[in-house]
């Protein structure tokens, strides 16, 4: 099965980290996109859907108001690298 929605959200995060999406757009659009796609993501890969929510939303985007822009980007980068490693089989949970 293709992971179209999972790949979309991982790419969106990579685009933010690469400077293609500004921080305001990312922190507002990412949770919306995840919510919109979540049911389909669960069908694609339940573990990855839950991991993306836990790591990139709860331990990522939701921390925006508590962190400086630099610390927020660092946090998203750490979370993204972990999720991306799991997705590509480079690490296990």
Report d(CA 29, CA 61) in Å as an integer: 10
Is pTM beyond 0.85? Reply is yes
pLDDT of res. 1: 64
Burial class for 92, CB neighbours closer than 10 Å (0-12, 13-18, 19+): exposed
Average pLDDT, the chain: 96
Q: What is the mean pLDDT of residues 17-44?
A: 98
* Residue 93 reports pLDDT greater than 70: no
């Amino acid at each position: 099965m293709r992971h179209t929605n999972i790949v979309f959200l991982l790419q969106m995060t990579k685009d933010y980290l690469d400077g293609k999406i500004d921080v305001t757009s990312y922190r507002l659009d990412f949770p919306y996109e995840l919510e919109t796609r979540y049911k389909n993501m669960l069908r694609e890969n339940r573990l990855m859907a839950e991991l993306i929510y836990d790591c990139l939303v709860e331990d990522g985007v939701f921390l925006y108001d508590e962190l400086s822009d630099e610390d927020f980007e660092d946090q998203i980068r750490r979370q993204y690298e972990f999720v991306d490693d799991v997705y590509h089989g480079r690490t296990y949970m």
